Amino acid sequence: MATEFELIAGFAERFVTPDSVRVGIGDDGAVVEPGAFDVVSMDTMVEEVHFRRRFSSAEDVGWKLTASNLSDIGAMGAVPGPLFVSMALASPPDEEWVNGFCAGVQQAVDQLTANPQQVTVVGGDMTSTRGPVVVTMTILGSLKGTQPVLRSTASSGETIVVSSLPGCSAAGLEVLRAGREQEEPLEKLVQAHLRPRPPLVLGRELALQSMPSAMIDTSDGLIQDLSHILEASSVGATIDLSGLEIPAPLLVAEQEGLGSVRDWILGGGEDYCLVMTVPTGHVDALQRYATRHGQRPIIIGTTCDARQGVEVIGPAGEMVDEFSAGFEHFETL
């Protein structure tokens, strides 16, 4: 059985201390370079709430937790930096699971970041629990002289753009629940759920060009996350999804009775694409930037006066009065 300190030593061996951190794993606290970081974000995943072992490997959990943290940093227009990981594990700890989790973290950093040497685990905490596994990650980021892109800075009359169409992750979860993850093309939805790929570099590039007026990532669902911008900025919106090109795997999943394309797009979370409000004069340039970074940006609506509220037109051109609002943590307990 591995001890707490042996598990911590495993983290220290795997994750090298980056240049921006003076002291990493091994002391009571990490020591970072003064003024190096000005953005902090944190995310937690709880077994049987955010992941299930029958669906997700330890590597999948490590990847997804890292991706969600990276996504928040990208949505702020920042560059990611060091990571801190807290783990509450059953006793005795499953060393193989911990090693797999670490491997997933490293895979996500290597594949999603532009400078993986600077995005590495430098500290955290480890404890035992009689309950489910709980893993928390904190990430530091740097704006490097640019202004953060907030939720509260949208204006009426702007274009609403998503970096790619959401919904595949939520559909992927339904495929897993149905036990059909090996079927083509449904397995592509499963991959979107287990291994999301947030457009981290794109968020930073757009912020450098001051293109979005406000920005957020879709962690809890398109309408719910967009509503955070609308409420913080005191604006309304008209959303029009009619005529959109729906990915074939989503259509197949709907045809197979696994759920509704409309609900997945509007209310499904964990795609981690970017939702942005963009002044009209920046839309064409933004689309070019996004395409250059492998995204398929889509115009889905416009902001308006707050008194007009939120109007949603669905994929089939129908007015949507009721829809899945998105993930709400405490409704699942």
The neighbouring-strand residues paired with 278 are 159
Report CA-CA distances (Å) from 52 to 35, 87, 175, 198, 239.
39, 16, 14, 22, 34
In the block, tokens 């490097």 appear at 144
Sequence-distant (6+) residues with CB within 8 A of 112 are: 66, 67, 70, 197, 198, 200
Q: Which residue, chain included where needed, has tokens 């009619």?
A: 242
Q: Where are the domains of the chain?
A: 4-142, 159-325
Cα 21 to Cα 261: distance, rounded to the nearest angstrom: 45
CATH of domain 159-325: 3.90.650.10
Query: Partners of 126 in the beta sheet?
Result: 87
* DSSP β-ladder status, 79-89 and 134-142: antiparallel
DSSP SS3 for 320: coil
**What's the DSSP call for residue 243?**
T
DSSP 94: -
Tell me the sheet residues that pair with 236: 304
Q: Tell me whether strands 274-278 and 310-313 are parallel, antiparallel or unpaired.
A: unpaired
- Name the superfamily (CATH) of residues 4-142: PurM-like, N-terminal domain (3.30.1330.10)
Helix (H, G, I), strand (E, B) or coil at 128: strand
Taking only the tens of pLDDT, the chain with its 333 residues reads 678 878 888 888 888 888 889 998 888 889 999 989 999 999 999 999 999 999 999 999 999 999 999 999 999 999 999 999 999 999 889 999 999 999 999 999 999 999 999 999 999 999 999 999 999 999 999 999 899 999 999 999 999 999 999 999 999 999 999 999 999 999 999 999 999 999 999 999 999 999 999 999 999 999 999 999 999 999 999 999 998 999 999 999 999 999 999 999 999 999 999 999 999 999 999 999 888 888 889 999 999 999 999 999 999 889 998 655 555 544 443
Looking up tokens 């060009």 gives 209
d(C-alpha 172, C-alpha 164), whole Å: 16
